[in-house]
Amino acid sequence: MFETITIYGAGAIGGWIAARLAASGRVPTLIARGQTLAAVQENGLQLHEKGRLQAFSLRATSRPADLGPQDLVIVAVKAVAMADVARHIAPLLGPDTVVLTAMNGVPWWFLQQGFGGAASGRPLHTVDPGGAIAGAIAAGHVMGCVVHVSCARDAPAVVRHNRGERIIIGEPAGRITPRAQALQALLQSAGFRAELTPHIQQEIWYKLWGNMTINPLSAITGATADRLLDDPLVRAFASRIMLEAREIGARIGIPMTESPEDRHAITRELGALKPSMLQDVEAGNPVEINALLAVVCELGQLTGVATPDTDTLLGLARVHARRLGLYGSD
């Protein structure tokens, strides 16, 4: 079913997925730019995994128009790059193209396809200002995805897989469809622990529940996750934010029985974790504040849930990022 595959974004996650697919014989094309594009074209995509280094010779381009319609497009960029993807993705989209969004945070399509209770169908301006992304990628193309792995980019086109194999996919409308089953089979054949769910928004929200606090707090302080949770005042602040998000989740159809302390215990198992937002700050890359925090505040407004602690963290995070020149959107 998926004969032509393009991966949009060759960072840590996109590179890992591309390498795994190539190793299984389903060689994708990469959309990349700058140093990453040059590195792939000169040396191939390199993957450090399970104690060995593999290199894969892949076609790479910065121009989607070079490729034409694809059966599968895996979008593995930071949320801050989605507006640029939306401006250039059209040549890759045929009538039946599947667009798998392997991204952090709440995506633009979260309330589409009948999900969200009273908020269903409402646009999310914090992650899609003006509806440009929704206008460029029709809802029928989209397949949701949550990636539970730890990968890092050692250098342009050099990816290191640290831990985890789990990828969860699902239709935003909640159905189990033949295309979703075919995509699960494709990912499993490449060695991923691929799971199919009828509740992909719930999986996205649960991952966000931990990321929305530890990521920005780490970016602001420079501390790893364990040090943040060791401080009782910081942990209590994070817990209050998580309770606000839990109430929003309940109002859009994602009830949670876990407490913030339950989620903190899972994070503690990861030890001295350096979250992705801290890695971005250290590398001088734009940070995903809108997809992890601003959108939660927006959902609070849509559902009538007050978010004073989330608002505070949002303000602190964006002032910090603006000072570094890593955040330019309200």
Q: Contact 41/156 with Cβ under 8 angstroms?
A: no
Considering only CA atoms, which of 55, 52, 61 is closest in space to residue 31? 61
What tokens appear for 51 in the block? 């104690």
The contacts found for 92-97 with CB under 8 angstroms, 24 or more apart, are: 92/6, 92/8, 92/64, 92/67, 92/68, 93/69, 93/137, 93/141, 94/69, 94/70, 96/71, 97/69, 97/70, 97/71, 97/72, 97/73, 97/141
Active-site residue 207, yes or no?
A: yes
Chain centroid offset of residue 112 CA: 17
The residue ranges of DSSP E strands in the chain, in sequence order, are 5-8, 29-31, 45-49, 52-56, 60-61, 70-75, 93-102, 142-155, 158-170, 193-196
Q: Contact 93/104 with Cβ under 8 angstroms?
A: no
Which candidate in 50, 78, 207, 274 is catalytic?
207
Q: Contact 187/194 with Cβ under 8 angstroms?
A: yes
Q: For residue 115, what are the CA distances in angstroms to 175, 208, 214, 247, 322? A: 12, 17, 27, 16, 33
Amino acid identity of 224?
A: T
Neighbouring residues of 25: CB distance < 8 A, sequence distance ≥ 6: none
Alpha helices in 161-231 (DSSP H): 178-189, 200-221, 225-230
Considering only CA atoms, which of 18, 23, 4 is closest in space to residue 67? 4
Catalytic (active-site) positions: 207
